[in-house]
């Protein structure tokens, strides 16, 4: 029984699951930077999308806190700490900067619910998995 065990396993071991969530979230963030104001999206399977949504939304919340820090010494130190917390989860400084500059600014007025999951019609040809489109809310 999985009492008090949060999260889905997705039929992967912990290191593979962590890497998959990291890579999928980086893809979503990078797609938002490339497409600008229109927002980016990625096509994946349903369970992966639901797992990565919580992961990405926590990153956006941290990025919004970075933008809220002041310009005094304490604020800059707090912003650096928050950026390092984001970097610990995505391991790419370019993505951290994109997250803080583009994505957090775009969702400054929202209070959660930054990502949307839309089911696509049909199934994947290789294995018949259901496909969904995960992207930023405009």
- CA 113 – CA 60 distance, rounded (Å): 10
Residue 9 counted as domain residue: no
Domain count, the chain: 1
| Confidence grade of residue 8 (pLDDT, cut at 50, 70, 90) | confident
pLDDT at 35: 54
Res. 102: pLDDT tops 60: yes
Residue 123 β-bridge partners: 130
- CA 131 – CA 34 distance, rounded (Å): 22
- CA 131 – CA 45 distance, rounded (Å): 5
pLDDT digits (tens, 9 = 90+) for 37-54: 455 799 999 999 999 999
| 102 and 59 Cβ atoms separated by less than 8 Å | no
- CATH code where residue 45 lies: 3.90.1030.10
Helix/strand/coil for 111: coil
Q: Which domain holds residue 100?
A: 14-136
Residue 41 β-bridge partners: 135
- Mark residue 112 as left, alpha or beta (left: phi above 0; alpha: psi -120 to 50; beta: remaining): left
| 132 and 46 Cβ atoms separated by less than 8 Å | yes
Q: How do beta strands 41-45 and 115-123 pair? A: unpaired
């Amino acid at each position: 029984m999985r009492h008090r065990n949060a999260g889905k396993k997705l039929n992967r071991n912990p290191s593979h699951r962590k890497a998959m969530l990291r890579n999928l979230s980086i893809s979503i963030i990078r797609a938002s930077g490339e497409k600008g104001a229109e927002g980016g999206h990625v096509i994946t399977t349903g369970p992966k999308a639901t797992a990565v949504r919580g992961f990405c939304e926590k990153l956006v919340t941290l990025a919004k806190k970075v933008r809220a820090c002041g310009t005094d010494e304490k604020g800059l130190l707090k912003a650096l700490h928050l950026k390092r917390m984001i970097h610990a989860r995505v391991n790419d400084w370019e993505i951290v900067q994109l997250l803080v500059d583009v994505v957090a600014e775009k969702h400054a007025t929202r209070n959660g619910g930054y990502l949307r999951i839309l089911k696509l019609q049909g199934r994947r040809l290789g294995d018949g998995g259901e496909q969904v489109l995960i992207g930023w809310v405009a």
